[in-house]
Amino acid sequence: MRSMRTIDAMSNPLLQPFDNLYTSAPFSKIKNEHFMPAFKTAIKEAKEEIDAIVSNPEVPSFSNTLEALEFSGEKLNRISSIFFNLNSAETNDEIQKIAQEVSPLLSEFNNDIRLNEALFKKIETVYQKKDAMDLNTEEMMLLDKNYKAFVRNGAHLNEKDKKELREIDKQKSKLSLKFGENVLAETNNFELHLTDQNDLSGLPEGVVEAAKAQAEEKQKQGWVFTLDYPSYIPFMTYSNHRELREKMAKAFGSRGMNNNEFDNQKNLLDIVNLRFRRARLLGYESHAHFVLEERMAEEPEKVLSFLDNLLIKAKPAAKKEFEQLEKLAAKDGIDNIQKWDGAYYSEKLKKAIFDLDEEQLKPYFQLENVIQGVFDISQKLYGLSFEETKEVDKYHKDVRTFTVKDGKGDFIALFYADFFPRKGKRNGAWMTSYKGQWKKNKENSRPHVSIVCNFTKPTPTKPSLLTFNEVTTLFHEFGHALHGMLADTKYPNLSGTHVYWDFVELPSQIFENWCYEKKALNLFARHYKTKEVIPMEMVKKIKDSSNFMEGMATLRQLSFAKLDMAFHAKDPGSISNVKDFEKKAFGDTQLYPDVENNCMSTAFSHIFQGGYSSGYYSYKWAEVLDADAFEAFKENGIFDKKTALKFKENILSKGGTEKPMDLYVKFRGKEPTSDALLKRAGLLN
C-alpha cells in the first residue's frame, strides 16, 4: 500500500512532469492547496542535489561544481515562477497567504546554498585556478557570477553574522510581499461612483462606456471609475470637473499612507533599514553601493552625477513647459495649478499646439491590430512568426497564447499575453517568464515568455482601442519579450533578461522607437471601422509631438530615481517621517505644490516590491543606450536585416554571457553618448 505522502505527490500536478504542449504549465489542474506541498518537496529535492555536489569525492571542476549547481533546483524554479507570476497577475487572499508562508522558506533555502561553506570552498577552488582552465567567455562569466554571488551573500561571514543575514533576508521577503499586497488593496478599495450625467463632462464616449460596464460588473447604477490605469488616467486627462479630478488624484496619491491596516510607512522604513544592515554586514557602505557593484553604473556617485547632468539639461525645459500649463490654467481662473490639473491641461495644450487629440488616435489602435503589428515588425526584423494556439493551458480566460517559430519553422518560444485589468492583478505592465531557456544534453530548451498589461477593455459597442501611450507600453513589454524569446545561451541564469539591471531596459525601450515610424505604423495603425491606414498628417503629428512635455517627463523620472537613491545610498536610520524625507528628496525636481496627505513612496512598488531598489535610474540610463542604438537603424533603415541581425546576435540572444558594454560595442562599434537621447528629447542646446 502506498503512503499518503506518495499519493499526494502523485496527485499534485506541480510535482509531475508537465506533459502539455511544449511542457507548458498545467494551470487548469493547479489548485491553491497544491503549492505548499509542491514547494516543500521541490526544496527537499533541490537540497539533495546540492548535497550531491558537496559530497562528490572528485576534485572540484567546472563541470561537477558550477554546471551541476547551475542546473540544480529546476523543479523548484519552475514552481516558483508559476506561483509568483500568479501572485502578481491572478492573486487572491489564499495565494497571498501562501506567499507570506513560502517566501521565508525560499529565503532560507537560498541562504542554505549561499552560506554553505563546503559548497563555497569547491567553487573557490575552481575560481582560483580559472586562468589555467580552458573556459570560454560564457563559462568564465558563470564562474565569476557564482563566485561573486556567494561572496556578496555572506560566504566569508562568521557564523554569527551568517545567522543575522538569514534573519534579515527572511524579514525582507515578507515585508516586500506585504508592501505589494497593501498597494493592491488600496487600489482595489477605492472607487468613484457617479450617478449624475453632468459629472461625466469632458470624458470621451469610450471612457464613459467602460465606466458604465464597470458599474454593471459591481451591480451598481451609473458609472464607476477606479485607480486602475485604464480608468484613472483618462479620467485625469479629460474630466472637466476639477473637484472630481482632485478626489481621484488624492486617492491615488495616498495609497499606503492612510494610517490604516494597509499603511506602508513602517513597512518601507523597515525594508530600507534591513537593506542597509545587510549591506553593512557584507562590508559595503550602503545598499546602493552593494547593488551598483553589479551594474554598468558601478557606484552611487556615478549614478548621481548621471542624474544631475540630465537634470541640468531638463530643468529649464521643464520650467518653460510648466509655465505654459500655468498660463493655460489661468484662463480658466486657476491661479495655483495642482497635480490633478497636469494631465488635463497638458492634453489641452497638446491639442492647441499640434491639433492632436488622443481620442482621435484611438480608433487607429485597435488592440488586435497593434498585437499583429508587433508580430509583423518582429517578422521583418528577426524572421519570427506567431500563431495563436488553443492547445496551451491558461491561468485566466483573458490570456492568449501563441507559438513562436523562426524562418525555418523551428519552435522558438511559447508566448502568453494578458492584457486587461481585473481585481486580482496588480497595476502596470511587465514581462516575465514561466520557463527559461538553456542548452543541456544537446537540447536547446526553449522559453515560455509572458507579458502582462492593464489596457482599456472592449465595451459592448467597441473593441479594445488603445491610447498611444498604451501602444508604446505594449511595444516596450514586447521588447522585453523578444529578449526572452530570442535567448540562445547554455546556462539558464545567463539567459534572456538575466543581465545587469541597467542594461535590461535596452531591448524594451529601443522597440518603442518603431511606434513613431511611418513604415511601422502603416503595418498596423488602421481605423477599426473603415480599415483606413492612419493618415500621414496624423503620423506627422505623432512624430512632432513625441517630445511634448519631455522636460517635465524627464524631471518626473529623475525625481523617482533621486528618491530611490536617497533611500538607499546612505544610512536610512535617521528617517523618522517618510513624507518629510520624500519632500526633501524631491526638492530639485518639484514643480507642482506639494499635496499634504499624499506620498509617492508608500506605493513605490518598483523599489519596495520589485527589483529596482538603487536601480530606478536605469530607465534613463537605458534611454541613452536605446537612443544611440536606434541611430544605427535610422542610418541603415528601420527594417534593415543586417542591423537587426547584429542587434539579435550581440544583444538579444546573448543574455548575460558577456559584460553589457562589451556586447553593446560589438553591436554599435563604439560606446554610447547621451547626445542621441538629448537630441531625440529636444533637450540638446
| Residue 268: other Cβ atoms inside 10 A | 26
Domains parsed from the chain with CATH numbers: 4-156 (1.10.1370.40), 191-253 (no CATH), 269-354+551-618 (1.10.1370.10), 363-550+619-680 (1.10.1370.40)
Residues facing 431 on adjacent strands: 451
pLDDT of res. 380 = 98
Cα(357)–Cα(533) distance, integer angstroms: 17
Q: What's the Cα-to-Cα distance from 262 to each of 179, 229, 519, 603, rounded to whole Å?
A: 8, 20, 48, 11
Residue that wins the pLDDT comparison between 602 and 501: 602
For the stretch 232-282, pLDDT in tens is: 999 999 999 999 999 999 999 999 999 999 999 999 999 999 999 999 999
* pLDDT of 1 above 80: no
| Residue 59: other Cβ atoms inside 10 A | 10
For the stretch 603-624, pLDDT in tens is: 999 999 988 999 999 999 999 9
For the stretch 386-411, pLDDT in tens is: 999 999 999 999 999 999 999 999 99
* pLDDT of 2 above 80: no
Which residues touch 255 (CB under 8 Å, ≥6 apart)? 182, 183, 186, 187, 227, 602, 603
pLDDT of res. 544 = 87
Q: Are 660 and 671 in contact (CB under 8 A)?
A: no
Q: Which of 336, 291, 313, 237 is nearest to 592 (CA)?
A: 336
Q: What's the full length of the chain, in residues? A: 685
* pLDDT of 501 above 90: no
Cα(240)–Cα(236) distance, integer angstroms: 9
* pLDDT of 140 above 50: yes
pTM of the model: 0.87
**Three-state SS letters, 402-429:** EEEECCCCCEEEEEEEECCCCCCCCCCC
pLDDT of res. 427 = 87
pLDDT of res. 4 = 38
Which residues touch 281 (CB under 8 Å, ≥6 apart)? 154, 157, 161, 164, 165, 168
Could you give the 3-state DSSP secondary structure of residue 366?
Answer: strand
Cα(191)–Cα(226) distance, integer angstroms: 5
pLDDT of res. 3 = 39
DSSP letters, 152-210, are: HTTTTS-HHHHHHHHHHHHHHHHHHHHHHHHHHHHHHH--EEE--GGGGTT--HHHHHH
For the stretch 545-571, pLDDT in tens is: 988 999 999 999 999 999 999 999 999
Angle at 81 between CA 400 and CA 373, to 5 degrees: 30
Q: Specify the pairing of strand 448-452 against strand 411-418.
A: parallel
Catalytic residue among 477, 505, 517, 623: 477
For the stretch 431-460, pLDDT in tens is: 999 999 999 999 999 999 999 999 988 988
pLDDT of res. 52 = 98
For the stretch 85-129, pLDDT in tens is: 999 999 999 999 999 999 999 999 998 998 999 999 999 999 999
For the stretch 190-210, pLDDT in tens is: 999 999 999 999 999 989 999
477 is annotated as an active-site residue: yes
Cα(347)–Cα(356) distance, integer angstroms: 9
Residue 74, all three cell numbers: 529546476
pLDDT of res. 644 = 98
Cα(428)–Cα(668) distance, integer angstroms: 32
Q: What's the Cα-to-Cα distance from 518 to each of 200, 312, 375, 380, 534, rounded to whole Å?
A: 35, 33, 17, 15, 9
pLDDT of res. 8 = 66
Over the chain, what is the mean pLDDT? 95
Q: Is residue 7 very low, low, confident or very high in pLDDT (cuts 50, 70, 90)?
A: very low
| Residue 63: other Cβ atoms inside 10 A | 11
